[in-house]
A = this chain, B = another copy of it.
Amino acid sequence: MPRGRNAVVLLSGGLDSYTAAAMARADGYRLFALTIEYGQRHAREVEAARKVAAALGVVQHIELAVDLARFGGSSLTTTAPVPKDRPLDAADIPSTYVPARNTVFLALALAWAETLQAADIFLGVNVLDYSGYPDCRPEFIEAFERLAALATARGVGGGAFRVHAPLLKMTKAEIIRAGVALGLDYSLTHSCYDPDPAGRPCHRCDSCRIRAAGFAHAGIEDPLLRR
């Protein structure tokens, strides 16, 4: 039984990581939330993460700056345009892909988890309603768990780390229904890749459109649209 055990939860301020963290809480974990400020254009995301962390009642919330924009390579961290109205079933990897982002995020979560003597990391990745990012796939998660066991003092001592991705095989509509059943307030979250200066979503990037389709399929109104 995990009741009272510590877990590191990666919290982006989006709907998925909020739901994954709430599932960890429902399972009895004490939450240590980690938000990476990686140079994303939408600082609105970090504000949302702060609200979500407070709503979840986490034990501690660390916002860590890691400026991946220094490396370039993504329309999320540079001035390259964010793609709009892109077919969501396109097979290519879009320019919003941030090279090795989830590898960096999980490595940092692992560093904190080992310090906390926590064996559990929660990540809100999802393999169905996603943008084709390679580091959202089950085989990536499994490879990271293997690495974590070899990378750490805990691993040398025979311990392991588990990367929980409870949303991995859920549709966006299923995620939203599960979150609503857990009493989550999705008006706190932010999904848009390219908000206007006031922080309002563009409704045309992949992330806005996947979110809208998810709420529509769930038959639930997105509380962000009521504001």
A-to-B contact residues, CB < 8 Å: 62, 64-68, 70-73, 93, 97-104, 106-108, 110-112, 114-115, 134-135, 137, 139-140, 143-144, 146-148, 150-153, 155-156
Contact = CB atoms under 8 A, between A and B. Distances in A.
A112 to B, nearest CB: 4
Nearest to A135: B151
A155 B143 CA distance: 13
A111 B99 contact: yes
Contacts of A112: 71, 99
Contacts of A106: 107
A134 B151 contact: yes
A106 to B, nearest CB: 8
Contact of A104 (B108, B135, B139): B108
Contacts of A72: 115
B153 A103 contact: no
B103 A110 contact: yes
